[in-house]
Amino acid sequence: MATYKRFSFPHVYHYIFVLVSINIAKAQAQSLNHSLYSFGDSFVDPGNNNYLDTIAKANSPPYGQDFVNGTPTGRFTNGRQVTDFIALNLSALNYPRAYLDPNLSLEDLMSAVGFGSAGTGFDPLTPPILDVIPISTQLKYFIEYKRRLVAAIGEKNTEDKIGRALVYVTAGTNDFIVNYFSSASSRPDMYTIPEYQSFLLQLIRQFIQGLMDQGVRRIAFSGLPPLGCLPTSITLYSNDSANVDGPRDCVEYLNTVAQDFNLMLQNELMTMQNSLNGSKIAYIDFYGPVNDTIKNPQKYGFDQVNRGCCGSGTIEQGILCSLIPILCPDASKYVFWDATHFTEKAYYIIYEANRPIIDSVINFTEEAYSIFFKANRPITNDVSN
């Protein structure tokens, strides 16, 4: 007669209890690791727009052809973005995942999460143009995310994790290119360019304060790229637009707008930093590295700097890149992947140029932030280096 090994109910319950305890312990241990949260526009959108009714999507080929498994995740590039390289630097378990992805696991939530949405901006009139996620709603999603994390790992672990996390923010390009300088925009009737820049800075100030109210303590905030060198800007705003093979020089007045805004942003971030204890806000230079690749392409191995790899390279992006089956033979020779967004190689150059700044923010968190919360006393800014 055959014999069978039997489990008593107490043994089964004990086995389940042990498994649950191990998973909770793993989650709590992982909660102490570095996390990455990103907010902003298409330069950091990992695929949130996939779940919106908008034309601003990049979830079909040729996008993602050089990403993991050649998957078009919704990133507006052929491969990885700056935040993907930051995630590797932080030893995150995964590349940033879109917060709106319904398949997010607890592991994803505690590793790297992106709240960005292509086409958005700080100006509340910018996101409705393409029906995308406003910056203010991204902050609301982060608050919702925080509640989910508390339910999973507890309030104390959540507070510590968010406090140690790196927050990367980049937006503003659409506020100028899609909104202010558009012929349909009402903003020029309301603001001069300097006034509009000040208006955006006020909104940025509010957004940063909203992040810090949720426990964020280290922020890497990106400036604008050379707006006048984006292929779509050259096409729309330059006299060279009709000549695809011509000089297609950068639109200098747009670059001046970007430079002026970046200087104002740096001053604003510095003012905020000087008023903070136990926190670090760093300016990320987007303009400098991109400008250098355009002026000195051979230095980086680029052949093409004024049009994108997909389509004609002058206007196509998103669905137009997918509908027009024309692609350059080697994306690594191009600064731009489409008419607005950069190739993975260009993003890596931007990341490497700013890596010392990013590392300084990480080191600040490990030293100054931990001292601040353990001792429960203010920390002066001179410990940030």
User: Which of the residues 45, 84, 101, 338 is marked catalytic?
Assistant: 338
Catalytic residue status for 34: no
What's 76's DSSP letter?
S
Q: What is the pLDDT of residue 372?
A: 43
Strand pairing class (218-222; 280-284): parallel
Q: What is the pLDDT of residue 21?
A: 38
Catalytic residue status for 66: no
Beta strand extents in the chain (DSSP E only): 36-40, 97-98, 112-114, 166-170, 218-222, 280-284
Q: Which segment of 62-66, 159-163, 246-250 scores lowest on mean pLDDT? A: 246-250
Q: What are phi and psi of 284, to 5 degrees?
A: -105, 125
- Sign of the Cα torsion 84, 298, 359, 172 reads negative
Q: Measuring CA to CA, which residue among 79, 43, 34 is closest to residue 61?
A: 79
* pLDDT value at 264 more than 60: yes
Q: Measuring CA to CA, which residue among 69, 96, 92, 67 is closest to residue 80?
A: 67
Catalytic residue status for 338: yes
Which tens digits make up the pLDDT trace of 67-86?
999 999 999 999 999 999 99
User: Which of the residues 42, 241, 322, 384 is marked catalytic?
Assistant: 42
**Sorting pLDDT into bands at 50, 70 and 90, what band is 29?**
very low
Exposed/middle/buried for residue 151 (C-beta within 10 Å: 0-12, 13-18, 19+) = exposed
Q: What is the mean pLDDT of the chain?
A: 87
Q: Which amino acid is at 272?
A: M
Which tens digits make up the pLDDT trace of 192-213?
999 999 999 999 999 999 999 9
The 3-class SS string of 177-237 reads: HHHHCCCCCCHHHHCCHHHHHHHHHHHHHHHHHHHHHCCCCEEEEECCCCHHHCHHHHHHH
* pLDDT value at 4 more than 90: no
Look at residue 382 and give its three-state secondary structure: helix
Q: Report yes or no: 62 and 310 within 8 Å, Cβ to Cβ.
A: yes
Q: Measuring CA to CA, which residue among 194, 300, 337, 306 is closest to residue 241?
A: 306
